[in-house]
Chains A and B, each alone.
Chain A
Amino acid sequence: MNDAESSTDATDRLLLQRMAAGDRVALATLYRSYHGRLCRFLSRLTRRADVIEEVINDCFWIAWQKAGDFRGDSRVSTWIMGIAYRCGLKALRQHGDEPVDDNIPEDRVPATDPEEDRELRDWLGKGLERLSADQRAVVELVYGEGHTLDDVATIMQCPVGTVKARLFHARVKLRNVLPTLAERSLTVKEQAP
């Protein structure tokens, strides 16, 4: 854990202590702090905005109830991501395991999204749709969130060996799919007037 991560974790622990005492301002602060990364993490599991909001609120409702039980065995971010992961899996069981939708409606794409980012999203989306929900979660936690193997094992409540296996198979699938797509994209671009 570097200095910036230590500082953030210390702040999060203070917020949890205040939440345990019933401080709703602390809850709102933590909610806003984690909303962006939780949205991205959960968007790897489902494309439905209503389900993502439901899972985030379930996650923080549990965090509110259990704030006093946090023992500090892991970083607060690892603890919260673990709760969100389990709530996300539950939502998948209730709403169905929807594949990642690569046909994103125009109104759902950020207006400020540069062309390069849009191509990158498309490239990534076609790769992720070949992965299982667990593999997508591992890839997001490692490449998107920057969690270590131990963190991911804590979040997913499984052995480190299982995380390694999921990451390996996800990388092999992406390696086999993504270069082809990149070449296709290039070919289409070259043919375009």
Chain B
Amino acid sequence: MTMLPTYSSQDCPRAWEMMPWVLQQSATQEQSEWLTQHLAQCAACRAEFAQQSRLKQAMSLPSDVHVDMEAGLQRLLGRLDAPVQQEPQPLRARSGGWLMRALAAAVLIQAIGIGALGLKVWSSGGNTAYRTLSQEPSTPATAGAIRVVPDAGMTLADWNALLHSLQLQVVGGPNDVGAYTVAPSASTPKTQDTVQQLRAARGVRLAEPVTGTP
């Protein structure tokens, strides 16, 4: 714990402040005389001034760390002759370090965020839960379904009679080329026979089994 100096009179702070400058002889003659008079009256400041004098004496001793002056000078002169000499780096080079680290951290966080977003989009890409209006509905082919194109001259009564005789019903169409999709109403369809019968019937231009999605 630091103990502040205790002053015995109101002149003591001024004396305390003046001591170093009187000791190094940079104080004015008037200041030096004033301090001398104060020290004559104040034992505390006298003791402090003696301590300050000893401090100055100690600080004036030559360095006790031996550094070879001539060797150092030769190294300096050699340094001047070196082809590329860099001035000691400015102090801001160090202070810029934290800025670079902060920027690098920000870039890293952004990269992680972009990566996580990309991963989420990629993982949900396989489960398309939507389709465009132009897409064909992916209805499963009805078992035993047959595409039939009736002749343009075939009456509706003949068409209905044909379907009824073969136990067929219309499940789709007509499409752009006038083809209907028909499927047997019976539980056990015999597709190949039915196709043959359709082809043999009057007023049928084309009959083909639906084997799957083209």
Binding site for B on A (CB under 8 A): 24, 27-28, 31-32, 35-36, 39-40, 43, 47-49, 52-53, 56-58, 60-62, 64-65, 86-87, 90, 93, 104, 108-110, 113, 117, 120-121, 123-124, 127, 139-140, 142-144, 146, 148, 167, 169, 171-176, 178-179
Contacts and interface: CB of A to CB of B under 8 A. Distances in A.
Contact of A49 (B2, B51, B55, B65): B65
B64 interface: yes
A56 B91 CA distance: 18
5 contacts: A31-B72, A40-B63, A56-B67, A171-B16, A174-B55
Interface stretch (B79-87, B153-161, B188-196, B201-209): B79-87
Contact of A62 (B48, B64, B77, B88): B88
Contacts, number: 123
B72 A148 contact: no
B106 to A, nearest CB: 26
B213 interface: no
Q: Which of B25, B58, B85 has the most CB of A within 10 A?
A: B58
Interface in B40-74: 48, 51-52, 54-69, 71-73
Nearest to A139: B59
A83 to B, nearest CB: 10
B73 A32 contact: yes
Given A24-B77, A104-B64, A143-B20, A172 B51 contact: no
Contacts of B66: 49, 108, 110
Interface residues on B, range: 35 or more
B186 interface: no
Q: A interface, by DSSP: helix, strand, loop or mixed?
A: helix
A57 B79 contact: yes
A121 B60 CA distance: 10
B19 to A, nearest CB: 9
B129 interface: no
Interface string B7-38: 00000000010001101111000000000000
B43 to A, nearest CB: 14
Contacts of A61: 76, 79-80, 85, 87-88
A143 B64 contact: no
Contacts of B21: 148
Given A62-B88, A93-B94, A120 B57 contact: yes
B69 A143 contact: no
A56 B77 contact: no
B63 A87 contact: no
B177 interface: no
Contacts of B62: 36, 39-40, 110
Given A28-B73, A32-B69, A140-B59, A121 B3 contact: no
Contacts of A176: 2-3
B24 A146 contact: yes
Given A121-B61, A176-B2, A60 B69 contact: no
Nearest to B85: A61
B117 interface: no
Contacts of A48: 65
Contacts of B87: 61-62, 65
Nearest to A174: B55
Given A39-B67, A176-B2, A24 B80 contact: yes
Contact of A117 (B20, B59, B61, B65): B61
A142 B88 contact: no
Nearest to A112: B62
Contact of A39 (B4, B56, B63): B63
B36 to A, nearest CB: 20
A169 B52 CA distance: 14
A90 B58 contact: no
